[in-house]
Amino acid sequence: MFLTNNYNVTKCKEKQATPKAAFVFLHLVNEKTFYVVERRVAKLRVFEFIGGTILEAKEISQAVISRLPRYFRYLGELKDDGVERISSQELSTLMKVTASQIRQDFNNFGGFGQQGYGYNVEYLYSEISKILGLDKTHHLIIIGAGNLGQALANYMNFERRGFLFEGIFDQNPALYGKKIRDIEVQPMENLECFVKENSIDIAVLTIPKTGAVNVAEKLVHYGIKAIWNFAHVDLNVPDDIQVENVHLSDSLMKLSYNLNSNLK
């Protein structure tokens, strides 16, 4: 153990292995046919089994994957409102997407509805949650304990979705030991051990772009598998590392565009 401006820096214990792929049993279409989803880093593949043999294996497009969180969000709200079932037409009106788009998206996974009944909200919600990997917990750290990092750390709702906030790091000694939701800001020197010892899989980057590329490379080296990147810079990481870039200003510009189009 050594000290960084009076804050303890610990030595690492051994590294933990992280699985490369996860298989999720989805649902039985009938007594012989069932679906299995394979999640491998960014990719989703669905296997259709009939009578014990694989009938079809297909990769799910990124467009479909990117629509799943929205379905999940709406279904969660319906569930909270006590809605038990919904037709694709009703879901279509609610979400402002066509009913055929909804059916096509769900058909990738064998379809979740029944003719004349529609979708069971609770069931569909739980199936999509499995596909998205939200039935599992993820361990998340934040790099950069400034305004944005602290705001995200204080947002409890991520935990409801299985994203556990485990640690927060910064290079500014003035912040070491500051508690955010009972978790102390730690020096960057502790990062490697912390990631390895706590099976951290996701890092949130809320630092300026100058240091972000370098920090991201270190994170990957320590074993991080996914980065939620708020720094305004493209990261240089291997293909098997998931990066989701967030630019809040893109959304604001879209709002501005729509506002101005409406004024014309």
Candidates 6-14, 72-80, 156-164, 203-211 — which segment interacts with ligand NAI by CB under 6 A?
Answer: 203-211
Candidate residues 4, 33, 120, 172; the one interacting with ligand NAI per rule CB under 6 A:
172
Q: Whose Cβ is closer to ligand NAI: residue 91's or residue 219's?
A: 219
Q: Report if residue 186 touches ligand NAI, rule: CB under 6 A.
A: no
Q: Report if residue 108 touches ligand NAI, rule: CB under 6 A.
A: no
| Cα-based distances in Å from 162 to 114, 134, 139 | 29, 6, 8
Scanning the chain, the segments in alpha helix (DSSP H) are: 62-80, 88-95, 99-107, 121-131, 147-154, 157-160, 191-197, 209-222, 248-263
Task: Calculate the CA 69 to chain-centre distance.
Answer: 9
What is the DSSP code (8-state) at residue 199? T
Give least dist CB 157 to ligand NAI, A.
18
Candidate residues 44, 78, 132, 148; the one interacting with ligand NAI per rule CB under 6 A:
148
Residue 71 to residue 134: CA distance in whole angstroms: 13
Q: Buried (b) or exposed (e) across 136-168, using 16+ Cβ within 10 A?
A: eebbbbbbbbeebbbebbeeeebeeebbebbbb
Q: Report if residue 141 touches ligand NAI, rule: CB under 6 A.
A: no
Q: Whose Cβ is closer to ligand NAI: residue 57's or residue 151's?
A: 151
Candidate residues 70, 73, 136, 232; the one interacting with ligand NAI per rule CB under 6 A:
232
Q: Report if residue 173 touches ligand NAI, rule: CB under 6 A.
A: no
Give me the phi and psi of 234, to 5 degrees please. Answer: -80, 135
Q: Whose Cβ is closer to ligand NAI: residue 132's or residue 231's?
A: 231
Q: Report if residue 215 touches ligand NAI, rule: CB under 6 A.
A: yes
Please give the residue whose beta carbon sits closest to ligand NAI in the complex. Answer: 146
DSSP string, 72-101: HHHHHHHHHTT--EE-HHHHHHHHTS-HHH
Candidates 39-47, 90-98, 170-178, 236-244 — which segment interacts with ligand NAI by CB under 6 A?
Answer: 170-178
Residue 121 to residue 50: CA distance in whole angstroms: 26
Residue 8 to residue 187: CA distance in whole angstroms: 9
Candidates 28-36, 39-47, 153-161, 209-217 — which segment interacts with ligand NAI by CB under 6 A?
Answer: 209-217
Candidate residues 75, 230, 235, 237; the one interacting with ligand NAI per rule CB under 6 A:
230
Q: Buried (b) or exposed (e) across 88-113, using 16+ Cβ within 10 A?
A: beebbeebebeeeebeebbebbbbbb
Q: Report if residue 128 touches ligand NAI, rule: CB under 6 A.
A: no
Q: Whose Cβ is closer to ligand NAI: residue 43's or residue 208's?
A: 208
Candidate residues 6, 30, 147, 261; the one interacting with ligand NAI per rule CB under 6 A:
147
Residues lying near ligand NAI in the complex (CB under 6 A): 143-149, 170-172, 188, 206-209, 211, 215, 230-232, 246-249
